[in-house]
Structure 1
Amino acid sequence: MARQRSGDSILPFFKKQSGQLDGTADQRPRRSRSFSFVPNWVRNEFIAFAGEFGGTFMFLFLAFSGTSIANAAVPTTDGPNTANLLYISLSFAFSLMINVWAFFRISGGLFNPAVSLGLFLVGAVKPVRTIVTASAQIIAAIAAAGVVEGLFPTGLNASTSLSNGTSIAQGLFIEMFLTAELVFVIFMLAAEKHKATFLAPIGVGLALFAAELAGVYFTGGSLNPARSFGPAVIKGFVGHHWIYWLGPVLGTFLAFGFYKLMKYSEYETANPGQDLDDHEASMFNPPDDPVSADEVQRPNVAAETAESIVQQVTSISSGSGPPMEQIGSHGTGVSPMGRVERIGS
């Protein structure tokens, strides 16, 4: 018997073609031919870097521009200029929301070294990706600040500093608590996967909006080391610049600690079934006093419907079940003609 060559197919119907299996191992190309000269992981990290750079640049370019416009106006009162604060808060919130929504499929849409750190802590981002995204964010922040400084007649007027009698200790803890709110929202809306995860950019943008309303007047509302570092490189550093690094990092650890407490306590058992639709709710029957998150998991409607169909068809074939035209009358998902209907229709 002739020895089979290493490139031959073991089975005649498993022909070795581009993008197909050859019967021995997965021979599908792992990267496009244009990038065949680099390892696949390098290509992916480059994509993540480019996505974070582009997304962070556009986020901060729009936010810095809006802030510079707002700060160009002369305050009309000695106290907080609420119109000014609202304009700045909206500039940051809407810019973040739009760009996170646009870039989250590419790199995750993090745009903040504190967020990168937080997602690393919860295991959603690997160490190399954390370094790659954080580096891209810092470089993009410098670039965005430089472009705004040179492009607009008003120049860059978006630096963060303590004001209105805010002490360094107060500024540090303001940044910490506001960042903790933002990062925890990201944990619960983006890192925790659920039916509304695709809407997470809206919640994240609103979280930043609320935080900016509270923080802009006292600290500039950074919540993001890159956001403060970029303007500082272009316009100069203040002596307390370090709080815009330490505050967000402490806030990230605070959010992480509370998130881990909720996960360790299996928070799902306290208020189960909040994400269920009508089909799932009809199949959801948790115990009165659930012990673990496994007891309140979302029902798999498709699997349970398929199992019900199989059981009824089996009973019909054995002559012990209802006629075919009766299947579906109790929510099994089968029409009178025996077709499987789309769940939710």
Structure 2
Amino acid sequence: MALSESKTELWDLDISVIQPEGKGLGPATDGTSGTKPFRGVFEQFVQPCLAELLGSSLFIFVGCLSVIENTEGTGRLQPALAHGLALGIVIAVLGEISGGHFNPAVSVSVFLIGGLNIILLVPYILAQICGGMIGAGLAKVPICFLTGKMFTSHVAEVIMTLFLTMVVCMGAVNECTRSLLAPLCIGLTVTADILAGGAVSGVCMNPARAFGLAMVANYWSYHWIYWVGPMSGALLTASFIRYCRPLIFWGLDTCLYNFPV
């Protein structure tokens, strides 16, 4: 959970970043050719907080849903596996951006040993708290709409697919967060999703799989859920990753959206 040097130095608050050759839009605002202070602000302070918000949301959602949907006879095993797998996965895919805390207690301990900039401590904690509320709220949606099976299944497919596609994009595609463990993380994400939400929708997350099974069994009831849900989750993932894409034109092209186009 170690952060990069730019995020761990407690007292060096120089946030200017040298603009790579060929990507500038003219002289920098501070008079130094090629320097873009705003890029440093976004990369060092905004991106990590967004990563903590997203990671906390996904971790809490999977964990809460695994407890809510825990089947009789599994005891604590199902929630324990779902919590552990979810946490390990979000750390693997988002740790390079924020350090992978997702817990105020962890952030405080890392700060006290000099591993977190003091300016980031409170924003980290706020992002984690907001992420916890979002994740718990999303997990409660199926309970609030138990009478509407279609809506419940649709929400589950959207969130579970969002989790899966986020791991694929951040772990296997993004050059700055790509990991050799991406295949394992992707497989474990499917495992965590099934453990957490298998009783809600079956956790398909793959329209091709759903279509093949429906074709063989000639059963098309509610088939649209397994297309609309996963596609919606994929769109949400892309929206988050490309969130600041327009800022590239201002020289703010950072690691988060260093994707091939």
- Asked which structure has the greater RCO (Cα within 8 Å, sep 6+), the reply is 2
Shorter-chain TM band: 0.3 to 0.5
State the TM-score, normalized to the length of structure 1: 0.32
Rg (Cα) greater in structure: 1
State the TM-score, normalized to the length of structure 2: 0.42
